[in-house]
Amino acid sequence: MITKNTSAPAVDATLRAWGLRLTRQRRIILEVVHATDAHPTAAFVYRRVRRRLPRVSLATVYRNLRRLAAEGFLAERADPSGVRFDGNTAPHDHFTCVACGRIYDVPTRATRGVRARIAVRSGFEVLNHRVEFYGRCGACRRQGGRSPVKGQRRS
Amino acid sequence: MITKNTSAPAVDATLRAWGLRLTRQRRIILEVVHATDAHPTAAFVYRRVRRRLPRVSLATVYRNLRRLAAEGFLAERADPSGVRFDGNTAPHDHFTCVACGRIYDVPTRATRGVRARIAVRSGFEVLNHRVEFYGRCGACRRQGGRSPVKGQRRS
DNA sequence: TTTGTTGTTGATAATGATTACTAAAAATAC
DNA sequence: GTATTTTTAGTAATCATTATCAACAACAAA
Ligand SMILES: [Mn+2]
Ligand SMILES: [Mn+2]
Ligand SMILES: [Zn+2]
Ligand SMILES: [Zn+2]
């Protein structure tokens, strides 16, 4: 599934505003992450970027993913399957299928109010929160009752 | 902060029921995790266990943490700071202080109902869910307005 | 208790993911 | 254009975790 491609000029301007140079590799890395909703790993992004830049270095991919995440152009999340990147920087939750390993976006609407409810207790100042659901996606439920897979390949 | 020490005989019985032998190292590893609420890393557990078993191997600590987690004697969680273990196997959420890195338990009461709300949509069968809060704990708020630390040492 | 079987351990090598390093190349400023 | 500054590619190094395996310890049958 492909999401809308980020408009290059707009991204360029924002990158510049943050003092980031516009290198071919940086732009393509960002485009690759924005062009998928698969919550890709660094290795996945590397494979995709190499289609367009066969000589790109894995280190360059890591370097830029980390930096672009730090600057807010994409999101970085760690879960049991490792570190993944998300071009969708709007607030949303996730559903991970324990059978196929796919990670689906879930509108935050369902969990709105969670933060407010916790904020009042214990003197914690809550700046952010994350909700993760685990279960079986529609496709996997239809395909029969196989039990959850243990070793999920990281794509 | 120390939580109640697991009663050795009871644990012994349960371990046996699961076909796990009662080795000195296995029991002490479990005790160490149950004796702290710091959500320790494997390295932290290793250091603690060595106080009582100076010749224990790091591999033994990993092996048993993973197995004890798989059998349900403790919980394993992955987050941006890495893999951590939790002796508290009751359902509960977590608050991570972005200033000091400490992870606090949060009663699930505050987020009850979250799962039910999501279960109805998209054909997902929700088996489990996790809520993570991020912010500043009471201690860190008092200590002044330093901005969140980036590199948190893993204890 | 002795003995036999089988699971577990300690030591260390291997792996996989990520980061550090650095000379060369590219982007930007003048 | 030339000068200045960043970034890159390639690769070595690091870090967390897992695999391997001979020696050992737990358990149970005798
Ligand atoms: Mn997402
Ligand atoms: Mn906990
Ligand atoms: Zn699925
Ligand atoms: Zn704190």
Task: Please answer whether residues B100 and B147 qualify as being in contact, where contact means their C-beta atoms are separated by less than 8 angstroms.
Answer: no
Domain parsing of chain B, residue ranges: 8-86, 92-142
What pLDDT, on the 0 to 100 scale, is given for residue A5?
44
Q: Please say whether the beta carbons of B118 and A133 come within 8 A.
A: yes
Distance from the Cα of A112 to chain B's closest Cα (Å) equals 9
Distance A154 CA to D22 C1' (A): 34
Residue A105 per-residue DSSP state:
E
**Strand C closer than 7 Å to the CB of B89?**
no
Q: DSSP state, A67?
A: H
Name the residue among B102, B153, B115 with its Cα closest to residue A123: B102
Per-residue pLDDT for A72 more than 90? yes
Q: What is the pLDDT of residue A126?
A: 87
Q: Do A124 and B135 touch (CB under 8 A)?
A: yes
Which residues are bridge partners to B103 per DSSP?
B96
Q: Which residues neighbour A145 within 8 Å (Cβ) at sequence distance 6 or greater? A: none
CA torsion angle B111 A96 A34 A30 (round to 10): 90
Which has the closest alpha carbon to B95: B103, B107, B84?
Answer: B103
How far does residue B136's CA lie from ligand 4's centre (Å)? 5
Rounded CA gap, A67 and A82, in Å? 18
Task: Report the CATH number of the B8-86 domain.
Answer: 1.10.10.10
- What type of residue sits at position A1? M
Residue of B nearest to A82 (CA): B78
In 3D space, the residue among B60, B35, B31 whose CA is nearest the CA of residue B46 turns out to be B60
Q: Which residue's CA lies closest to nucleotide D18 at its C1' atom?
A: B59
Is residue A103 within 8 Å of residue A96, measured between CB atoms? yes
Q: Are A133 and B124 in contact (CB under 8 A)?
A: yes
B8 Cβ contacts chain D strand, under 7 Å: no
B145 touches chain A (CB under 8 A): no
Rg (chain B; Cα; Å): 18
Bridge partners of B132, per DSSP, are A130, B94
pLDDT tens profile A127-140: 888 989 899 998 99
The dihedral over CA atoms of B96, B101, B103, B109, expressed in degrees to the nearest 10, equals -20
Q: Does residue A146 have a pLDDT over 60? A: no
Burial of A142: CB neighbours in 10 Å, binned 0-12, 13-18, 19+: exposed
pLDDT of residue A22 exceeding 60 = yes
Residues in chain A closer than 8 A to B96 (CB atoms): none
Query: For A91, which DSSP code?
Result: S
Distances (CA, A) of A62 to A23, A42, B22, B89: 15, 6, 44, 35
Average pLDDT value for chain A = 85
Q: pTM, whole model, 2 decimals?
A: 0.87
The pLDDT averaged over each successive group of 10 residues in chain B (155 residues) is 52 81 96 97 98 98 97 94 96 92 85 63 83 90 64 58
Which residue is listed with tokens 């948190």?
B152
CB atoms within 10 A of CB A27: 17
Which nucleotides on chain D have any atom < 7 A from a protein Cβ?
6-12, 16-20, 25-27
Q: How far apart are CA A129 and CA B113, in angstroms?
A: 16
* pLDDT greater than 50 at residue A73: yes
- Domain B92-142 architecture: 2-Layer Sandwich (3.30)
Residue with tokens 């120390």: B2
Q: Which run of H or E residues covers position B96?
A: strand B92-97
Using the CB atom, is residue A63 less than 7 Å from strand D?
yes
Q: Could you tell me the distance, in angstroms and rounded to a whole number, from the CA of residue A35 to the centre of ligand 1?
A: 12
Task: Express each pLDDT in A90-145 by its tens digit.
Answer: 999 999 999 999 999 988 865 666 666 666 567 888 888 898 989 999 899 888 75
**Nearest CB to B138; choose among A110, A122, A128:** A122
Say yes or no: Cβ of A43 under 7 A from any atom of strand C.
Answer: yes
A52 vs B148: which has the higher pLDDT: A52
**CB pair distance less than 8 Å for A111 and B98:** no
pLDDT at position A125 is 87
| C1’ D14 / CA B97, Å | 27
Q: How far apart are CA B135 and CA A34, in angstroms?
A: 28
